[in-house]
Amino acid sequence: MESVLITGAARGIGYATAKLALERGAQVFGAVRRAEQADRLAAEFGERFTPLVFDVRDEATIRLGMVEARHALGGRTLGGLVNNAVLAVPGPLLHQPLQEIRDQLDTNLLGPFLVSKIFAPLLGADPELEGPPGRIVNMSSIGGKIGQPFAGAYIAAKHGLEGLSDALRREFIPYGIDVIIVAPGVVNTPVWDQVEAQDRSRYAGTDYAEPLAEGVSMMIKAGREHGLDPAQVAETIWTALTAKRPKLRYAPSKHPILEQNLLMAMPRRALDRAMGYKLGMTKGAKRKAKPAAE
């Protein structure tokens, strides 16, 4: 792997992957949203790291980043692209502002599509470039298969990313560009600080106030106390980028039987009941309670 672009490189899985790729000798392009993040990473990582400042939701800035990367590659193909940038804003779908839902879909689903589309020429769609075609690694999650409540927009994006990855992989066959999914279980990353800091008091007057508080608390605790280290996920990403015959989907987990096998195997109705019970939500409770309240 000669070169790789990693979005969301400022922290968490993206940072760990950039660090590992540099240790393995790759030229790394790290996409971040702010100039101060770019300056910090450039100072820390050295000359083989090139920061690119763009927002995965903004086509114009992505194109500027692509031009900069093309120039730095000097006529060679880009070896890999890791679509890692993420946004997670929990909330009950009946009450969550539409803009928050759109922002998550734009970042977590349309973002990987836009970056893949714009960087596809560097990955091998441009026949004038020298070198083997590159690979795309799309970062999904256990949420790409399991629909946790109060993370609906995030879940919808990850479900969509799973299907998008299959479609892109098949469309990119003529160029030799492979598309691989890495879908971790719970990971201990700074995203939990982001989740914890969000204002959920706006839902205080809704039926979901207590279940939401419980659900978010459970997610944060699981992430911080039982999550994989980002460096372990980075190792899986590196395998997806470099293996001679990579799997189509990797699912690294600290507790694979519980997080992956058991949840996948459970009947969906049983999983509904288990999640509802855990969060204090029982079927029809609000409908039955309403006449008495009136």
Q: Which of 154, 203, 208, 250 is catalytic?
A: 154
* 91 pLDDT more than 80: yes
CB atoms within 10 A of CB 101: 18
Average pLDDT over residues 108-128: 98
Q: pLDDT class for 292, splitting at 50, 70, 90?
A: very low
The pLDDT value recorded for residue 251 is 92
Rounded mean pLDDT of the chain? 92
53 part of a folded domain: yes
The pLDDT value recorded for residue 250 is 96
Q: Residue 32's closest CA among 44, 41, 24? A: 41
Q: How many domains does the chain have?
A: 1
Average pLDDT over residues 266-276: 87
Tell me the pairing of strands 27-32 and 135-139.
Answer: unpaired
247 part of a folded domain: yes
262 part of a folded domain: no
Interval 236-260: pLDDT, tens: 999 999 999 999 999 998 877 767 7
| CATH code for the domain in which residue 111 is found | 3.40.50.720
154 part of a folded domain: yes
Q: Evaluate whether 212 touches 90 at the Cβ level (below 8 Å).
A: yes
202 part of a folded domain: yes
The pLDDT value recorded for residue 193 is 77
The pLDDT value recorded for residue 277 is 84
Average pLDDT over residues 194-220: 86
Q: Evaluate whether 183 touches 144 at the Cβ level (below 8 Å).
A: yes
15 is catalytic: no
Q: Residue 3's closest CA among 90, 77, 54? A: 77
276 part of a folded domain: no
Q: Which domain holds residue 130?
A: 3-256
